[in-house]
């Protein structure tokens, strides 16, 4: 099953152009709990017309790849005191080859942003999160 999101989500501000379309993030199998929190957060936010989205964060201290880019999902939720708050969960990574390409094309030159494109689920691959990446 595929659920599309781009028509609902606020895309990056003007001045951003799509650079990479339909990027499958990797590592969701290591972040199942966080992915499920994000999916629940999307449902909560959509039901209340609150915001949700994707944030990309470079991880130069990553011991396996100094060009690694973490993918965070964020959503608007309620705290214990019933105040609105932004929740955030690390849900995976940009694939290594694409992270290298993004670093080469944008470092010190252009900001990057991302938007949730779709979420796919199936018995074989429980969660597949797909994003679009934009350069400023």
Residue 12 DSSP symbol: P
Domain count, the chain: 1
Domain assignment of residue 39, given as a range: 2-8+15-135
What is the pLDDT confidence band of residue 7, given thresholds at 50, 70 and 90? low
What pLDDT score does 14 carry?
62
Report the predicted TM-score, pTM, of the whole model to 2 decimal places: 0.87
pLDDT tens-digit map of 62-102: 999 999 999 999 998 776 667 778 899 999 999 999 999 98
3-state SS assignment for residue 30: helix
What SS3 class is residue 104? helix
Query: Tokens in use for 11?
Result: 């895309």
pLDDT, residue 61, reads 94
Query: What is the reported pLDDT for 10?
Result: 53
CATH number reported for the structural domain that contains residue 63 in this entry? 3.30.70.2330
Is residue 8 a contact partner of residue 123, using CB atoms and an 8 Å limit? no
Tens of pLDDT, residue by residue over 11-68, are 556 677 778 889 999 998 899 999 999 999 998 888 888 889 999 999 989 999 999 9
């Amino acid at each position: 099953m595929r659920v599309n999101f781009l028509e609902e989500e606020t895309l990056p501000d003007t001045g951003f152009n799509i650079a990479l379309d339909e990027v499958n993030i990797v590592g969701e199998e290591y972040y199942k709990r966080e992915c499920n929190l994000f999916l629940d957060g999307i449902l909560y936010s959509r039901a209340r017309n609150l915001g949700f989205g994707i944030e990309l964060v470079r991880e130069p201290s990553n011991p396996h790849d100094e060009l690694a880019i973490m993918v965070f999902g964020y959503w608007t939720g309620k705290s214990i005191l019933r105040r609105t708050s932004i929740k955030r969960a690390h849900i995976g990574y940009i694939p290594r080859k694409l992270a290298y390409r993004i670093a080469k094309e944008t470092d010190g030159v252009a900001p990057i942003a991302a938007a949730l494109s779709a979420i796919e689920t199936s018995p074989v691959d429980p969660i597949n999160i797909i994003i679009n990446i934009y350069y400023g």
